[in-house]
Chain A
Amino acid sequence: MMMLWNRRLQFRHGVHPPDHKELTAEVPIRRLPYPDEVVLPLRQHTGKPARVTVKPGDHVERGDVVAEPDGWVSVPIHASATGTVESVDPWPHPDGSWSPAVRIAVERYSAQAARARLVPEWQTLSPAELIAAIRDAGVVGLGGAAFPTHVKLSPPKEQPIDTVLINGCECEPYLTTDHRTMVEYPERVQLGLRIMMRALGVKRAVIGVEKNKPDAIAAIRATVPADVDVTVEALTVKYPQGAEKMLITSLLGREVPSGKLPMHVGVVVQNVASAATIAEVFDTGLPLVERIVTVTGRGVRRPSNLIVPVGTKIRDLVAACGGFTEDAREVIFGGPMMGLAQANLDTPVLKGTSGVVVLGEAEIKPRRSYPCIRCGHCLAACPVFLNPQLLGQLAMKGRYQDMEAHHLADCMLCGCCGYTCPSNIPLPQLFALAKSAARRVKAPA
């Protein structure tokens, strides 16, 4: 556990945005009363959307399957509340589109107890059975990308995994979901980690937490089991420390090759909230039907950490936090560095929604852009060492193919370049556009 020499655990480049975590870092997680309606989009995870298995009028109980996985990179979706299916129609999705979703009118006087189910003893299950159980529970990465967890736990045989990394960085400003999870449920994180290590057949794990969460580090350190090789490392506070590739560099000194995945350097990275969810699956048998969400920013009256059913609408979340303040201007799903601004307050929380940040007028960044003055700040910020200045100029001219020659594919849209740009050029937006254009060219519809 002690570091032999004073190695600074970090990656190169990155930025230091003010974290504003003080709004909710000390606020205990609180459970909300059930809302009147929950909305479960079929597209909540990376991969193929789930296939709906219920029809309007069906009665569902909390934890019942409402949509089944479609293919390997897909997970089922479970009813997050007992009630009646109202419709399966397009509904506002956090990505800005209208996307098919199961709407459930929540039963007023239900106890919301899940159907009794068998809870398998995880020590007795084989790795394959563990992975199948995790998949059946609909578990995805809760850090934001919502990649199906069972896929990460099933690397091909030619890619041996030697280390599991648990990502407790939470480097996005404002969010304290992972922080509170580590402080309040450290045993669940440890149990989830053990189950994953068993599923992968891995002996070694490292939990990385940014130094600005000393209480979380202490809580996690205090619960490390004596019989497994799990270390907890305090990491330099820097954005994007929690990006998979950056975290692997910081903790293990390994560099994931361009275009490859963490498994290609023998690593699986999972978020602390995902680990805690896996623990709950094997603790109660309840699938992923609720999650912890930070609702924060100067735009809400009472910033809070909440446990809510998946599918709770923004409207209900904000109401539970005292409502909007007078100067609330922008509602963001996820953190402010990579999150998506929302246009509709009926948009539901997804499995991968780690926070809802409501920015006040004073927190909104200046909207005026200036021409690029080639200051080079973006190059000094880019954690994957791209030349955002050049990429931005190419993007504005629509030269998307030239951008690929300059490694656009390696951009992970972390937002460091846009954050640091003194001319306020929307570089990440330009890159996202270029990436989608490149996808259209490669796979004509």
Chain B
Amino acid sequence: MKTPELLITASPHLAAGDSTPKIMWHVVGSLVPVIAVSSWFFGISALLVVGAALAGALVTERACGQGGTLADGSAAITGILLGLTLPAGLPLWMAFLGGAFAIGVGKIMFGGLGQNIFNPALLGRAFLQAAFPAALTTFPAMGGPWWQFRGDNFALPFLSPHAPDTVTAATALGRMKFEHAGTPLWDLVLGSTPGSLGETSGLVILLCGGYLALRNYLNWRVPAGIFATVAVLAAALHAIDAKYPDATFMLFSGGLMLGAMYMATDLVTTPVTNAGCWIFGASVGLLVVVIRVWGGLNEGVMYAILLMNALVPYLNQWTEPRVFGLKPSRGRA
């Protein structure tokens, strides 16, 4: 009888079908329609900005990562998500720098995949916002031919970009906050409003994120918690005083959809327990409404998520599940 060369491994000897790279590349794939819609509205500039952020992320991961980590797909997600938080007219070198910062400081400095505390894409965006506040809040208007650049995409580093022909416009949230002017709901849902690349088209983001939730690649409790809290709070405020926007406006304006479906559900930086995910989502929703309504900024999704990222270890600790056969115990440190 032929004797095989025996392999010795520890149990379990079977594995479920999902692997970490598979999850990551599914997320990347689910972002393709979002990019496509963005490009529909913002033309070639959308692809350029996302591509530059992606390139910054990938180059940094390759250069500073532990080697072979490009294939796990996580750096690609960070790059694309960062790109989607940027305005279409952003100079490409800024997007590239943001991608490099997101991976270098947001992830690799913490020890690489799985070790980071803050969502790297949002950290990159926060860095850009601090470094180039004017460029990050210059939003081009919709429309125009597809191949037309929506700003000085090819500005040289550290030279002030000049935007000769582009028309800029205020975002829906900006108009609401500073001009008290509304935006038609269908423009918000379909995304035909000025804003960052991924702030447009809540509907497509909802569908793509829903696909990930169905595959159990994100915990649906996080976006559910965010949507529920934002909707309830916004509806309550609107009922008290009609100058506050209503629930649908709150849900579909700004970066809430992208943030709720893709940023707040980043597996690494969100709680591992279901109860923790509910609390995390509800808290993000609360912070978003607070920042939008009473804060100095007109958009608060980024800071709401980053703030809650910092609390994740505590959420995990507070919501550690009750072990089988033990009485529930509260407040165990």
Give chain A's interface residues, CB within 8 Å of chain B: 15, 17-18, 173, 245, 255-260, 299, 315, 318-319, 323-324, 326, 328-332, 336-343, 345, 357, 359, 363-367, 370-377, 379-380, 383-387, 389-390, 406-407, 410, 413, 415-416, 418-424, 426, 428-429, 432
Contact = CB atoms under 8 A, between A and B. Distances in A.
Interface of B: 1-16, 18-23, 72, 74, 112-115, 216, 219, 267-268, 270-274, 277, 316, 320-326
Nearest to A336: B13
A415 B2 contact: no
A390 B316 contact: yes
A386 B21 CA distance: 25
Nearest to B12: A415
A338 B12 contact: yes
Given A371-B114, A375-B267, A424-B19, A245 B325 contact: yes
A324 B3 CA distance: 7
Contacts of B273: 376, 379, 387
Contacts of B74: 373
B112 A371 contact: yes
Given A374-B268, A410-B325, A422 B22 contact: yes
B210 to A, nearest CB: 18
B12 A371 contact: no
B14 A387 contact: no
Contacts of A413: 11
A323 B4 CA distance: 10
Contact of A373 (B2, B7, B268): B268
Contacts of A339: 11, 13
A258 B16 contact: no
Contacts of B114: 370-374, 423
Given A329-B7, A367-B9, A324 B2 contact: yes
26 contacts: A173-B14, A245-B324, A257-B326, A258-B323, A260-B325, A315-B1, A318-B1, A331-B6, A337-B14, A340-B11, A341-B9, A345-B6, A363-B14, A371-B114, A374-B268, A375-B272, A376-B273, A377-B18, A379-B273, A379-B274, A384-B323, A389-B272, A390-B272, A416-B12, A419-B12, A422-B20
A338 B9 CA distance: 11
A365 B15 contact: yes
Contact of B321 (A260, A337, A340, A379): A379
A240 B113 CA distance: 31
A374 B272 contact: yes
Contacts of B277: 376
A18 B16 CA distance: 9
Contacts of A343: 6, 8
A418 B326 contact: no
A374 B219 CA distance: 11
A436 to B, nearest CB: 13
A256 B325 contact: yes
A365 B113 CA distance: 22
A79 to B, nearest CB: 27
A416 B16 CA distance: 10
B297 to A, nearest CB: 29
B324 A330 contact: no
Contacts of B270: 374
A15 B13 contact: no
A418 B323 contact: no
A335 B267 CA distance: 31
Contacts of A330: 6-9, 13
B315 to A, nearest CB: 12
A315 B271 CA distance: 49
Contacts of B1: 315, 318-319, 323-324
B276 to A, nearest CB: 9
A15 B74 CA distance: 26
Nearest to A409: B323
A252 B13 CA distance: 31
B14 A422 contact: no
Contacts of B321: 379, 385-387
Nearest to B23: A422
Contact of A366 (B3, B19, B113, B271): B19
B325 A375 contact: no
Max count, chain B CB within 10 A of own CB: residue among A299, A318, A373, A390: A373
Contact of B21 (A370, A415, A420, A426): A370
A373 B267 contact: yes
Nearest to A382: B321
Nearest to B321: A385
Contacts of B112: 371
A337 B114 CA distance: 26
A366 B18 CA distance: 11
Contacts of B22: 422
B326 A407 contact: yes
A373 B8 contact: no
B111 to A, nearest CB: 8
B191 to A, nearest CB: 29
Contacts of A386: 321, 323
B72 A370 contact: yes
Nearest to A318: B1
Contacts of B267: 373-376
Given A328-B4, A370-B114, A429-B11, 17 more contacts: A245-B324, A315-B1, A319-B1, A329-B6, A367-B9, A371-B20, A373-B114, A373-B268, A377-B18, A385-B321, A385-B322, A387-B320, A390-B272, A419-B12, A423-B19, A428-B10, A428-B11
B292 to A, nearest CB: 29
Contacts of A416: 12
Contact of B272 (A15, A376, A415): A376
Contacts of A428: 10-12
A106 B151 CA distance: 89
B19 A415 contact: no
A375 B274 CA distance: 11
A260 B326 CA distance: 11
A255 B324 contact: yes
Max count, chain A CB within 10 A of own CB: residue among B1, B274, B277: B1
6 closest pairs, A vs B, by CB?
A415-B12, A365-B15, A429-B10, A258-B325, A384-B324, A371-B114
A17 B16 contact: yes
A332 B13 contact: yes
Contact of B325 (A255, A419, A421): A255
B272 A17 contact: no
Contacts of B21: 370
A15 B16 CA distance: 9
B219 A376 contact: yes
A318 B2 CA distance: 11
Nearest to A412: B324
B14 A336 contact: yes
Contacts of B3: 324, 345
Nearest to B15: A365
Contacts of B13: 330, 332, 336-337, 339, 341, 357, 359, 364-365
A378 to B, nearest CB: 8
A442 B37 CA distance: 62
A424 B6 contact: no
